[in-house]
Structure formats: C-alpha cells, structure tokens
A and B are shown apart, each in its own frame.
Chain A
C-alpha cells in the first residue's frame, strides 16, 4: 500500500517520458539510427537477449568481483589504519584526493598489465572502489564521539571491545554509503574499461562496436541491460544494508 503511494508518481513520470520519447521520434520523423523509438528497442531486446544476457553476465562478473575485492580491501585497510591514528592521518589525504583521479584513464594500461580479458577490468574496478570504501569506513571507525570513548574507558574496556562494540557498529552507516556508491562505480568501471578492448561478448565491446556501425538499437538494448544490472547491484547492496542496520531503518517505519 505505502509502496504504491510512494512510487506511483515516479512510475507515472517514467511512463510519460517513454510516451513523450515515442511521440517526439514520430512527430519529427527522427531516423532510428539517430534515436530509436522505445518500442523498437524493446523489439530488439527480445530478439537479441540470449547474447545480451551472456555479455551482461560477463561484465557483471567483473563488476561484482572487482567490487568485492576493492571494497573488501578498503574495509580491511581502514580497520588496520584505524588502529594507528598517526598512520591514518598520513594516508587519509591521499585517499580523499584519489577521488578526483580519473582511474578509468588507466584502463588501456591495465590491459597491458593484466591482459585483455576480465583481469584488467577487475583491476580497474578494484582501483575505483578501494579508496571510497577506505575513506568511508575509516571516517566511520574514527568518528566516534569522545564521550562514547570515555564511556568505554570508564568500564575498563579492552581495545578489542572498543573496536567490536563501538567503532565497528558506528562505522556501518558510512561504510554502507560507500558500498552503495561503489556498486554504481563498479558497473561504470567494468563497462567503460571494456571500451578499450575485450572479448566480443561483453557489454562494453558490444555497445562500442554496434554504435560505430550505426546499429543504434542494438547499442541501446545493451545500454538498457547495463542499466538493469547496475540497478540490481545497487539494490542488492541496499538490501544487505537494511538487514545489517535494522536500528537505522526502523526509523522510517515508525
């Protein structure tokens, strides 16, 4: 009930948008190779989906594996750095600055280092997701209030207890914000690195090659698959977040 009311306006806008798109294409007689009408894309999706599923899984695997390794590494590194605030102070500025480095620019080099198959794409995704997760997790781990630490001290808590019962749960909201953002980044990283080379049955290569042959509807179909997988990834992480932080989300239900 609540969901229907919450999302009905957004769904309506989507439908209206598609209708408008369809209408504009016909009203101005736009050639399909420039902008295919939505129904043409849907038709093409139905014809080519076995290929698109295969390509999509190939790319999705890169994104998920890269995300697991990059985010896992980031969390692990943040835990290590949180034990030494001095080390954290040295590393944190570089980690923050790395957000403005276009890591995707390394994709051609990654192919030189890790080969043209999945390895190079996973490496790019790892590089893209490591630092945001590191920064988010570290800020969460170190951001506990002095008073909550004093409380722990007053009960003669061990470092291990402070970590498990205070720092770690306190870091979860910031950590999950990073994990969600990285799910999106991972999909972008995987698709875009494939533009620089890879097997034919991957989303990036497929989009690039069909687009350069003006097979626009094929390119659009693949883009839609990439969007769907990106959304799936994001919402899967959001679901884990909800399960891991019940206390945080009960708020909206109250």
Chain B
C-alpha cells in the first residue's frame, strides 16, 4: 500500500498572546492518500484554517509531526509542492490576470517558454482565457477566485490547500465553481485539502469529510463520501446526497451540544 501523501500525527497548536494562551487544536491525527479530496468542516473558530496552515508550513504546530510526500512540511514548501487558494483571491492589483498566474513560475525561476504556455493553458482550464489581459479589479469575485485557482495550479503541485475559497461567493456562483473545481481536480490529479463551513459543498466535493469539534479543535468524526463520480447537478438531487448532508449536520450538532453541556 502506498504511504499517505499527507500525514499528521498528534498535531496540537496553542496560540500565545497577551490575553493568555488559546488552545486552537488538540491531538490531530490524519492521513490523506494521493488523489483524495478531503474536506475539513467545523464551527467557526475550531482551528480548521490553522490546521490547513500547519500542513502548508505557514504556521508551526506547537507539538506533533507533519509529513508531506515523505518529508517535513517545511521541505515540501521549499520544494513548492503546494498550491494554496485563500479565502480572498489575493491577486496582485498591478499584474494582469495572466501575470498573476505567471507569478509562481517566475518565483520558481522557470523557463520563459513554460512561463508563457502553462498560464494560458490554465486560464483556458478555468474558462478565463479571454480575460488574460484584464486587471483583477475588472473581474467579478467568482472570476477572481478562478484566477487564484489557476495560479495555485501553475507549478502543477501535488497538493492543493484551499481555505474556504468560495465562502465569500453567492450560492449560484459557488455551485458552479464547485462543479468546475471537480473537473480541474480530475484533470490535474492533485490531492486536495479543503476547508469549508458549507455542508453541501463538502459532501458534493469530497471523498472524505473531517468533522471538527469546537475549540480546541479536534477530529470529531471522519465521514467517507461514497457518491459516484463524475458528480454533477444530478448528484445534488440523489437521496444519498441528502443522507450524507444530514449525517454531517448531525455530527456538527452533537459536538456543539457537547461543547455547551
């Protein structure tokens, strides 16, 4: 059996501040296999974004180990194994859409030919090739987030880390981008770690859903999603889809009830 691409063992995080210590994450252990789409869902403040940042080596864990592609998270970051999509698109105003997608290739010092071709192909993949010369402010929020997804794919990373990428979008746009994301993932074969607070989104996208408890965040339950692929509008109408949505909702309720008890 292949070793997991992401492996967390006993990861904990405590933030120190003037107001005192806040325990954000407790005893997180999780293994993600190559090609999986794993969503992390939980109430706000449960540390799910911190968990994502720990995997991406943007935040250091207080204890525990993170192994990515058989190496430390730091080494994986230095090897540029990650593509990250944040809550906001984080596009640079002074760069055109195309230049924003080129940024990772420039930073990695890739050859000119690759810097020209790959971003164009990625913009085609997210349906924005006509907007290559536009500036970010000329695009809608949904289009901006698609640019940031194209940018995250620029170096063909083995792992995509997505931190509530569609949280700020309206429901219609979110559903369309969910659909597009599945197609993009199918074509790139990237492993995805996806933070969300939308139950329907998690069920639609994931192969597994990690349900987290309120602060200090810990893994409450892992729900495998057995919906067949490829998924589409019909998936959202299947009885199994509703069963899974209900199951995840109940998991979230249980830990809220336990937290307030």
Query: Any chain A CB within 8 A of the CB of B103?
Result: yes
Interface hit among A147-155, A200-208, A221-229: A147-155
When the two chains form their complex, are residues A147 and B58 in contact, meaning their CB atoms are under 8 A apart?
A: no
Query: Given that A150-B86, A151-B86, A250-B135 are contacting pairs, would A156 and B77 also be in contact in the complex, using a CB cutoff of 8 Å?
Result: yes
Query: Given that A156-B78, A165-B103, A172-B94 are contacting pairs, would A151 and B84 also be in contact in the complex, using a CB cutoff of 8 Å?
Result: yes
| Chain B hits for A161, CB < 8 A | 107
A169 contact from B86, B92, B137, Cβ within 8 A: B92
Q: Which 8 A-B pairs have the closest CB atoms?
A: A169-B94, A155-B107, A154-B84, A156-B78, A247-B94, A147-B90, A157-B107, A155-B104
When the two chains form their complex, are residues A148 and B82 in contact, meaning their CB atoms are under 8 A apart?
A: no
- Count chain A residues whose beta carbon lies closer than 8 angstroms to a beta carbon of B: 23
Total number of A-B contacts with CB less than 8 angstroms? 56
Query: Chain B: which residue is nearest A151 at the CB level?
Result: B90
Besides A151-B86, A152-B107, A250-B135, 6 more A-B contacts (Cβ < 8 Å) are A153-B58, A154-B58, A155-B104, A157-B107, A165-B106, A165-B107
Tell me which residues from 53 to 92 in chain B have a Cβ below 8 Å from any Cβ of chain A: 53, 56, 58, 77-80, 82, 84, 86, 88, 90, 92
Query: Any chain A CB within 8 A of the CB of B198?
Result: no
A-B contact pairs, 27 of them (CB 8 A): A145-B90, A147-B86, A147-B88, A148-B92, A150-B53, A150-B58, A150-B84, A150-B86, A150-B90, A154-B58, A155-B103, A155-B104, A155-B108, A156-B78, A156-B107, A157-B107, A161-B107, A165-B92, A165-B103, A165-B107, A169-B94, A247-B94, A247-B96, A247-B135, A248-B93, A250-B135, A254-B138
Query: Given that A161-B107, A165-B106, A254-B138 are contacting pairs, would A154 and B90 also be in contact in the complex, using a CB cutoff of 8 Å?
Result: no
Tell me which residues from 48 to 90 in chain A have a Cβ below 8 Å from any Cβ of chain B: none
Cβ contacts B85-125/A at 8 Å (1 or 0 each): 01010101111100000011011100000000000000000
Tell me what chain A mostly uses at the interface: helix, strand, loop, or mixed: helix
Shortest Cβ gap from A250 to chain B (Å): 6
Shortest Cβ gap from B32 to chain A (Å): 18
Query: Any chain B CB within 8 A of the CB of A251?
Result: yes
When the two chains form their complex, are residues A156 and B80 in contact, meaning their CB atoms are under 8 A apart?
A: yes
A157 to B104, CA, bound (A): 9
Cβ contacts B130-158/A at 8 Å (1 or 0 each): 00000101100000000000000001000
A154 contact from B77, B88, B106, B137, Cβ within 8 A: B77
When the two chains form their complex, are residues A247 and B93 in contact, meaning their CB atoms are under 8 A apart?
A: yes
A245 to B135, CA, bound (A): 12
Query: Chain B: which residue is nearest A154 at the CB level?
Result: B84
A172 to B95, CA, bound (A): 13
| Chain A hits for B96, CB < 8 A | 247
| Chain B hits for A155, CB < 8 A | 80, 103-104, 107-108, 155
When the two chains form their complex, are residues B108 and A166 in contact, meaning their CB atoms are under 8 A apart?
A: no
**Candidate in A147, A151, A152 with the most chain B CB atoms within 10 angstroms:** A151
When the two chains form their complex, are residues B94 and A245 in contact, meaning their CB atoms are under 8 A apart?
A: yes
Query: Chain B: which residue is nearest A157 at the CB level?
Result: B107
| Chain B hits for A156, CB < 8 A | 77-80, 107
Query: Chain A: which residue is nearest B88 at the CB level?
Result: A147
Shortest Cβ gap from B165 to chain A (Å): 13
A24 to B82, CA, bound (A): 74
A169 to B103, CA, bound (A): 14
| Chain A hits for B78, CB < 8 A | 156
| Chain B hits for A247, CB < 8 A | 93-96, 135
| Chain B hits for A152, CB < 8 A | 107
| Chain B hits for A151, CB < 8 A | 84, 86, 90
Shortest Cβ gap from A132 to chain B (Å): 23
| Chain A hits for B107, CB < 8 A | 152, 155-157, 161, 165
